[in-house]
Structures are given as structure tokens and as C-alpha cells.
Amino acid sequence: MRTISKKVGELIKEKRIAAGLTQTELEKISGLKKEVVWQIEVGKTIPIERTIWRVCAALCLHRREIHEFLNLARQQRKNRGEFQKEYARKRARKLISRYYPYSKDQDKN
């Protein structure tokens, strides 16, 4: 799951450096906080679409590149959603077994 967010971050950092900008300069141009730019670049956060548009506009990227970033972020969010659903299922099973320790199969004995 982290690999996609790290890939997005690495690509954005690569584009920022290629544009000759520092994180502070990207912050000023995009209107984002420096912490947000840093979190994206190190893969700690998945940027929302509006943030991706702001960063890409500040870096003067082509539409194709913007859509690549958007698709990666959407894929990451989808994966995160699936992970959260599976975690919720496991947690529910654990709670049920804690509060209802006797399953239907055990009642038959």
C-alpha cells in the first residue's frame, strides 16, 4: 500500500527538482504548506485530487502527467479502502468472539 504513495512522492520530488524548485518555492507557488509538500514527497500521505492539481500546476506539468498522478492517487485510495474494510471485518470477528464466545457450532455440543 505504501509503495504507491512513495512512488507518487518520488515522482513529484523528481519533477520539482527538474523544475529547479525547492520545497519552499513549491509551497509558495502552489499555496500548500511546506509540511504537506514534504509529506507527499516522502510518501507519508496520499494527496487528494485538488492538491495534485495544485502541485502539478505549480510544476507546469502536462495533462498526461497530471492524469498519471491522479490515477496513482485513486489507486492508492482504493487500496487503502480495501485494507480498511478487511481490518474492520477482522475487528468485528474479534469483538464478536469476545462478547459471544459460544458460536452456533459449540451450542450443539
pLDDT over 90 percentage in the chain: 36
Q: What is the pLDDT of residues 34-71, one digit of tens each?
A: 899 999 999 888 888 899 899 999 999 988 988 888 88
In the chain, the largest separation of any two C-alpha atoms, in whole Å, equals 73
Q: Which class for 89: exposed (0-12), middle (13-18), buried (19 or more C-beta within 10 A)?
A: exposed
Predicted confidence (pLDDT) at residue 109 exceeds the cutoff of 70: no
pLDDT tens per residue, range 11-39: 899 999 999 999 999 999 999 998 999 99
3-state secondary structure of 23: helix
**Selection from 38, 37, 36, 48 nearest residue 77 by Cα:** 48
Phi-psi sector, 100: left (phi>0), alpha (psi -120 to 50), beta: beta
Domain spanning 2-101: CATH 1.20.1050.10 = no
Range list of β-strands (E), the chain:
none
- pTM, rounded to two decimals: 0.66
Please list the helix, strand and coil fractions of the chain in percent, rounded to the nearest 5, in that order.
Answer: 75, 0, 25
